[in-house]
Structure 1
């Protein structure tokens, strides 16, 4: 019997925050701070939470840490909103293991990235995702981010996966090619869940039928990002457009260095975390940090230094 995924497709919409992984000054994962960040997100209207996606520095975590981060997040969320952790890796068996773990933990869905570094062809991508999807009942969101994986999940490959794997219910498209994302819905079906992973395309993707966004900016400004989706859902197009443009300056500065370095710097300035990254990632330049601080002042997220 084919499992019905309509319930989660109705619930997993709007602003899905791809939460950063907070570290202590000694580089250990700060699980207490992760819980605090989740509460901050939900108090500001975020519609769903993801962890260990790109913003969560998964390649800097051990396999055991990734499981602990997922478990702690699931416990902190307490079923208040859907939970869709990132379970992908450049290693197929790790991806299988983490996706099965997400199902065991009780996640509502798993977000599986196109494998990075090894540049598989489209046939290999199909086999990888089909094998993972066939091994679990949990819904799968494909994560396509060619700027960091060096390979694009082509529309034809995605459409074939959608046809052959009932639990592949959507895609996070961190693809700046807006023609590509239009064709995703054309060939995968208008009911296929399309999430934007490109901040300046979060609003435009709603206009073509997108389900929401998985935007790193929502770590810093969760309310405005959630409110943009709420306005769109309520039919207030002008307000959704206004919030889209209000967010642009913050979106721009948070991507002047590799994500999540600027986001962590911003959260550090806001007093939310220690702005620590594990090598080979590191904090932004002093010049960019100053620019981030000035931008946060404009958004009322920090007080002027005296």
Structure 2
């Protein structure tokens, strides 16, 4: 099979890296490079950018291309590269997915279009057109809590049957019955990734290929180790990590991702804690809570006094 090698390679923790900004709001490419190198050194299995955690809706199409191109150069094939190329606009999705192929991405992560609430038939036509436009693997990204549309299992199964290069799905879906039925209907070799932090370990138990977890931005080594421990048969270690990370997972989602995440990375000295409006940092009360929880997991940079 043409995509069997890709299926073997695209397993583990695919870190959805944030897009760092300078105080002016411009993209901080130096910080992005440092983050990617830190991830690879920490054991992250693959890198993704410009997915939900990368604030793609706050970037222009040109900026998304620049982030993808810069990331590909920094990664330099050390680990697989899976940029997010989806949009609510069909032509933009086609353009970005083709760009991903041109720069040598190992796969493209394509989100269910958000806001416009397409029918299942329209979703099938959209994803089939995207898959047909490139030869690289496609991983569909289903996150109904943010797109207002759930890609039904029967639609996904039809896409899998009709498009050889649709090889997996990131399920940010809290309906665990739905998730089980993905592998039942798409086949056990279909790549199933968790996009819900508390389901990263449980999804491995039913045959998942790994996870695309925002928490990997904070503790990349531990998030990767959940997969490594499971793959090595160390179930207890995987379970221990699952519960160890739960308080961190909880606090990082008390406001809309990636706002708490960027606040946390700022506290770690990894980035400037800047988002573009209409996104913004969490309340000071939540930031204090994030700092308290974070201190149990990582070393924090000294606090900068408020001016």
Report the TM-score when normalising by structure 2. Answer: 0.98
1:160 aligned residue: 158
Trace 1:109-258 onto structure 2 (pairs within 5 A): 109-258=107-256
Say which of 264, 273, 284 aligns to 2:282: 284
Q: Following the alignment from structure 1 to structure 2, what is the Cα–Cα distance between the partners of residues 225 and 301?
A: 17
Match of 1:194, SS? Answer: strand
Q: Which runs of 5+ in 1 are unaligned?
A: none
1:19 aligned residue: 17
The question of whether the paired residues in 2 share the 8 Å contact of 1:277 and 1:283 is answered with yes
Match of 2:130, SS? Answer: helix
Question: What RMSD in Å do the two structures reach over aligned CA positions?
Answer: 1.1
Q: Following the alignment from structure 2 to structure 1, what is the Cα–Cα distance between the partners of residues 224 and 119?
A: 36
- Distance apart, 1:300 and its partner CA: 3.3
* 1:204-254 CA-partner distances (Å, limit 9, x unpaired): 000000000000000011011011111001000000000000000000000
The question of whether the paired residues in 2 share the 8 Å contact of 1:156 and 1:187 is answered with yes
The question of whether the paired residues in 1 share the 8 Å contact of 2:268 and 2:298 is answered with no
Report the TM-score when normalising by structure 1. Answer: 0.98
Say which of 43, 65, 70 aligns to 1:72: 70
Q: Which runs of 4+ in 1 moved over 4 A?
A: 303-306
The question of whether the paired residues in 1 share the 8 Å contact of 2:142 and 2:150 is answered with yes
Match of 2:70, SS? Answer: helix
Match of 1:298, SS? Answer: coil
Match of 1:49, SS? Answer: strand
- Distance apart, 1:302 and its partner CA: 1.7
The question of whether the paired residues in 2 share the 8 Å contact of 1:297 and 1:303 is answered with no
Q: Following the alignment from structure 1 to structure 2, what is the Cα–Cα distance between the partners of residues 51 and 120?
A: 25
* 1:96-153 CA-partner distances (Å, limit 9, x unpaired): 0000000000000000000000000000000000001011101000000000000000
* 1:30-62 CA-partner distances (Å, limit 9, x unpaired): 111100000110111000000000000000000
Trace 1:289-304 onto structure 2 (pairs within 5 A): 289-302=287-300
- Distance apart, 1:298 and its partner CA: 1.2
- Distance apart, 1:301 and its partner CA: 2.9
Q: Following the alignment from structure 1 to structure 2, what is the Cα–Cα distance between the partners of residues 208 and 187?
A: 13
The question of whether the paired residues in 2 share the 8 Å contact of 1:297 and 1:304 is answered with no
Match of 1:20, SS? Answer: coil
Q: Following the alignment from structure 1 to structure 2, what is the Cα–Cα distance between the partners of residues 115 and 23?
A: 25
Match of 2:295, SS? Answer: helix
The size of the alignment, in residue pairs, is: 304
- Distance apart, 1:305 and its partner CA: 6.1
2:48 aligned residue: 50
Match of 1:98, SS? Answer: helix
Q: Following the alignment from structure 1 to structure 2, what is the Cα–Cα distance between the partners of residues 33 and 178?
A: 36
Q: Which runs of 5+ in 2 are unaligned?
A: none
Q: Following the alignment from structure 1 to structure 2, what is the Cα–Cα distance between the partners of residues 212 and 139?
A: 16
Q: Following the alignment from structure 1 to structure 2, what is the Cα–Cα distance between the partners of residues 50 and 187?
A: 26
Say which of 47, 58, 61 aligns to 2:59: 61
